[in-house]
A and B are shown apart, each in its own frame.
Chain A
Amino acid sequence: MEPDCKRRKMEEPADPPWEALLVLPELESREVELTPAYAAPVLLRTETSRLVRELSAARPLTELPHLKRVQARGGTQLLEVLLCPAGPSPGASRTLAELLPDGRVDVRGLGEPFLVQVPARAPLTRPQFEEAARHWPTAFHENKRTSQALAGRLFTLQDKAAMEARMEHAVWAARRGAELGMVPAGAAVVDPATGRVLAVGHDCRNGLHPLLHAAMVCVDLVACGQGGGTYSYRDYPACSFLPPLPGDGLPYICTGYDLYLTREPCVMCAMALVHSRIQRVFYGVSSPHGALGTGYRLHGRQDLNHRYEVFRGVLEGPCRRLGQEPGAR
Chain B
Amino acid sequence: MAHNDVPIGAVIVDAQGEIIGCGRNERELRGDPLAHAEIVALQAAATTRGSWRFDDCTLVVTLEPCAMCAGAMSQARLARVVFGAFDAKAGAVTSVFDVVRDPRLPHRLEVVAGIEELACVRVLKEFFAVARTENELPK
Contacts and interface: CB of A to CB of B under 8 A. Distances in A.
Range class of the B interface residue count:
20 to 34
B75 A266 contact: yes
Contact of B72 (A211, A227, A289, A301): A211
Given A223-B31, A271-B67, A275-B68, A210 B52 contact: yes
A219 B33 contact: yes
B34 interface: yes
Interface of B: 30-35, 39, 42-43, 46, 52, 66-72, 74-76, 89-90, 92, 96-97, 99, 102, 104-106
A72 to B, nearest CB: 42
B67 to A, nearest CB: 4
Contacts of B31: 223, 226-229
What DSSP secondary structure best describes chain B's contact surface?
loop
A298 interface: yes
A320 interface: no
Contacts of A274: 67-68
A280 to B, nearest CB: 17
Contacts of A276: 33-34
12 contacts: A210-B46, A223-B33, A230-B30, A230-B32, A266-B71, A267-B68, A267-B105, A268-B70, A269-B68, A272-B34, A274-B67, A295-B105
B96 A268 contact: no
B32 A210 contact: no
Contacts of A291: 67, 71
Nearest to B71: A268
A274 B43 CA distance: 21
Given A209-B43, A220-B32, A272-B34, A304 B70 contact: no
A128 B46 CA distance: 47
A266 B99 CA distance: 11
A329 to B, nearest CB: 15
B130 to A, nearest CB: 22
